[in-house]
Structures are given as structure tokens and as C-alpha cells.
Amino acid sequence: MGVFDLETTGIDTDIARIVTAHVGLIDETGAIVERKEWIIDPGEPIPAGATAVHGIDDARVRRFGRSPAEVVPEILDAIRSVTRRGFPLAIYNAPYDLTLLSREAARLGLEPLDGTQLIVDALVLDRALDKYRKGKRTLELNAAFYGVPLETAHDAGADAIAAGRVAQAIARRYPVELGVEMDRLHAMQAEWCRIQAADFQEYMRRTRDPDFTADGAWPLR
């Protein structure tokens, strides 16, 4: 399957910029088959909080990064190459990465992804199939839970590969529930994400903020 991850300047998909990206392929054992990585100079300062997460600062992107106009088309092409070859694309919390990439493409006047990509989102799978497990569901914690090594969390390459391997581990644990065709699994994840968002919205309105809203669109918002 394909694997994809971004490290960025922030969490707001409408305004954050890409700093590093990885698109690759892993085989059925989780071994790396292909990998492409990029570093981008976003053209604006990287907030200290973002640097604290992924370790990329302004000096590094000025020295090694290329412009979004150069790199974003390459990221889109790499993802489309995965799709053309019939592979699903594993992304952990797909709405974040895909939406942010879509916003970057729009700013550059590029054709965004057309929504036909088959996505495997281990976060959605884990929440649906192990609904009542307590604790956070970050990639780092879920990698540990499913026995997937992740030595360098918040590195785009390490996170992308771990996302694919966690998805594979979940598939091995739930072979009956996930033993369906990929287009069916894609639709199941969209429905699961909608339900998860509705449940979270209900909880937040009941316990904290009566006006809270949660967006359940998946895999793109």
C-alpha cells in the first residue's frame, strides 16, 4: 500500500503550510518498497511550537528546502502514481493531511486530488474496531499498542510508514471485519468517521460546550 504523511507549520488546515512530506510504498510485510521525501521552505516563519514537534526550523528550510510551487506538484504526482497502480493510500488522520494538501494546491492554482483515491486511515479503523479502549489515539501510542516500531515520531517518513504498518496490524487483528473489497472499506471508513464525529460532538456539548461542532467529513474536508 501507499503511505503518506506531512509535517507542517500548524494544525489549522486552512492556513498551515507544508514543511516536510513523504510518499512511499510498503509491501504486505510492511517492508519499504519505494520512498520519496521533500523539505519545503514555506515562505513564512515556522512557529516555535511546530518546530518543537517535528524539529524543523527556519534555518533548515532556508538551507535545504524548495518552494511550494516546486514541491507540491511533485507530492500530488507521487500520490496519483500510487492510485494509478491500484494501491490504497494509508494516512493516519487522513482529513488533516489531505485537506491541508488540497489547500496548498488551491493556493498554487494546481488541480487538487480528485477524491478517487482509496484511503486506509488507521485512526478511523482503530476508533471503530476498539471503540471503548481508554486513552489517546495518537500515532505514537497506537504504534506501541499494535507493536509497530516508531523510533522517530513526527518525522514525515517514519510516521507515514508507521501509519501503513499500524493499518496492516489492525487488519491482521480484525480479519473478519476488514475482509472486504477496498472500495467497500473506503465507504465504511467514511461512515465510521461520521459516527465518531457525531458521538464526539454530543459528548462535548453535554460536558463542556453546548455549541461545539465536529466535522465528520472523510477523507477530505
CATH of residue 118: 3.30.420.10
Q: Which pLDDT does position 116 carry in this prediction?
A: 83
Give the sign of the dihedral formed by CA 51, CA 136, CA 170, CA 176. negative
* 190 occurs within a structural domain: no
Q: Which pLDDT does position 114 carry in this prediction?
A: 85
Q: Specify the amino acid at residue 14.
A: D
Best CA proximity match to 50, nearest among 20, 30, 76, 80: 20
* 141 occurs within a structural domain: yes
Q: Which residues of the chain have pLDDT under 50?
A: none
Neighbours of 214 (CB within 10 A): 15
* 186 occurs within a structural domain: no
Q: Which pLDDT does position 60 carry in this prediction?
A: 96
pTM: 0.96
**Alpha-carbon Rg of the chain, whole angstroms?**
17
| Beta strand extents in 125-206 (DSSP E only) | none
Q: Which pLDDT does position 165 carry in this prediction?
A: 98
- In this predicted model, what pLDDT tens digit does every residue of 41-62 receive, in sequence order? 999 999 999 999 999 999 999 9
Coil, strand or helix at 38? strand
**Backbone dihedral region for residue 93 (phi beyond 0: left; psi -120 to 50: alpha; all else: beta):** left
- In this predicted model, what pLDDT tens digit does every residue of 170-192 receive, in sequence order? 999 999 999 999 999 999 999 99
d(CA 162, CA 214): 26
Best CA proximity match to 121, nearest among 183, 186, 68: 186
d(CA 169, CA 171): 5
Residue 121 is part of which domain span? Answer: 2-180
* 60 occurs within a structural domain: yes
Best CA proximity match to 44, nearest among 65, 26, 27: 65
Q: Which pLDDT does position 209 carry in this prediction?
A: 98
Number of domains, the chain: 1
Q: Which pLDDT does position 62 carry in this prediction?
A: 96
* 173 occurs within a structural domain: yes
* 108 occurs within a structural domain: yes
* 160 occurs within a structural domain: yes
* 137 occurs within a structural domain: yes
